[in-house]
Amino acid sequence: MLATVRGRALRESFLLGLTTGAIYFTGTLYWITRVMAVYGGLSSWVAVLVNAALIAYLALFPALFAIIVRRLAIAHGRRALLVAPLVWVATELGRTYLLTGFPWVLLGYSQATVIPIAQLAAVVGVYGVSLLVATVSAALATVGADPKAGRRFLPLAVIAIVAVTVWGSLRVSRGELTHAGDPIRVGLVQGNVDQGEKWEPARAAAIFDRYISMTRQAIGDGAGLVLWPESSTPFMFEEDLQGAARLRALAQQARVPVLFGSDQVVWKSQNGLRVADRMYNSAFLLKSDGTTAGIYRKVHLVPFGEYVPLRDLLFFAAPLVESIGSGFVPGEQATVLPVDVAGGHSLSVSICYEVVYPELVRRFVLSGSELLTTITNDAWFGATSAPYQHFEQASMRAIEEGRYLVRAANTGISGIVDPYGRVIARSGIYEERVLVGDARFLRASTFYARHGDVLAYACALVTAALLILSRRKEQVSG
């Protein structure tokens, strides 16, 4: 921030922001190269090139932040640092939605494990936490740029941190949400199936038997609801009648609902033949009588994993395009699924990285979700920092929405998070594990659940207004 207000040209500020973004996203998204090379069929150098293209795109947002702050500094002097946090949040909001968005590792997630500070998300979401972190950075930068203004701004930032910490600590200590609603004991099945084995015909039966056995174990430990990971069935549930019958029978015999991920095909008739029309990454919920309670189709698909954005432009990634083919089709609705336990409740499912979209999870809650679930297959990531990043970002949704969040991951991390972001139970990565713990169906809503990202949009509007005023000031001065 400090460098953007010290008399630099706009071009130089842009390059500083771009460099900063490149360093940040290289350090947090390095694992994408492995995904492309191991599972996308790309040579190592092409995988690096694809990863570099994504990093370069994401780095444009810190670059945009830098150039906006510099333009404001030209018009208003070093006081522009006072509004730099608003500009930062505006660029994070843009990164969430432009070109379908990629809101991975937003600044506010740095506080996901700092539970008192993270409570701010219940009011203003993860963007509000980003604003707080950016405000502290701006205050420190102001001390260096304008000591007189810094002596006023820094104490205000410290007061804000102390106030949020005290309020957050009191909110957590009261723990009202942990005593509300109806309890449910949840079983999470972490099969730890190697990605290369899942679709091998010789391994399919053994994998399915493993999941059935682990489900029985979870039910034996008292689970009243069992979750399998994303795409956990080694077959398409609606296409394999024998496998589907075994799973339905298990739910019916135990009188326990089962939620699991499986690919889904919608067929059409063409020239008298039955051909695949659309493919969905779906979640199925079986009722305790074995019938299908509902199906959720994934809305936000993973770029380069489930579809290839800008296919024509990325011609050098031809093996990846061919590997993914036409890709999945996104679902259209934030469907909430009914659960026939404890008199009847509703839950929602975020599949894989959908959970990093705050507004989508909020739509689930507004539609009646009383329990947040997320199913994922993080085997793609390997033993990198990605599974840990993914889990902590998912935890922030629990705070925002005031809901328990339960997560089943093929290779980890599976876990249960309470409405205050505290981890009740969790597994490690790359271990076969049955995790059983307590959650609750909740109906009370947080301020964030009711009002959404009003703060983030306000930051965007203020940023736009300041840019317009700065432009007018330059014209008058000229």
Find the catalytic residue in 92, 230, 306, 401: 230
Token pair of 392, please? 């902590």
Ramachandran region, residue 226 (left: φ > 0; alpha: ψ -120 to 50; beta: rest): beta
Find the catalytic residue in 306, 352, 400, 459: 352
Does 459 participate in catalysis according to the annotation? no
Does 287 participate in catalysis according to the annotation? no
Find the catalytic residue in 198, 287, 298, 459: 298
Q: What domains can be seen in the chain, in order of their start residue? A: 2-175+453-477 (no CATH), 182-443 (3.60.110.10)
How would you label 316-332 residue by residue, b for 16+ Cβ within 10 Å and e otherwise?
ebeebbeebeebbbbbe
Length of the chain in terms of residues written: 478
pLDDT digits over 10-44, tens only? 888 899 999 999 999 999 999 988 888 877 677 88
DSSP result, 328-383: PPPP-S--EEEE-STT-EEEEEEEGGGGG-HHHHHHHHHTT-SEEEEEE-GGGG-S
CA distances from 35 to 7, 189, 224, 344 (A): 42, 24, 35, 40
pLDDT digits over 67-81, tens only? 999 999 888 777 788
Per-residue pLDDT of the chain (478 residues; tens, 9 = 90+): 555 656 567 888 899 999 999 999 999 999 988 888 877 677 888 889 889 989 999 999 999 999 999 999 888 777 788 899 999 999 999 999 987 789 999 999 999 999 999 999 999 999 999 999 999 999 988 887 777 777 788 899 999 999 999 999 999 999 999 999 999 999 999 999 886 676 677 788 899 999 999 999 999 999 999 999 998 988 889 888 999 999 999 999 999 999 999 999 988 877 777 777 788 999 999 999 999 999 999 998 877 666 666 655 655 554 554 554 456 888 989 999 999 987 899 999 999 989 999 999 999 999 999 999 999 998 888 889 999 999 999 999 999 999 999 999 999 899 999 999 999 999 999 999 999 999 999 999 999 999 999 999 999 999 999 998 887 766 555 5
- Find the radius of gyration of the CA atoms of the chain: 24
Residue 56 · residue 90 · CB < 8 Å: no
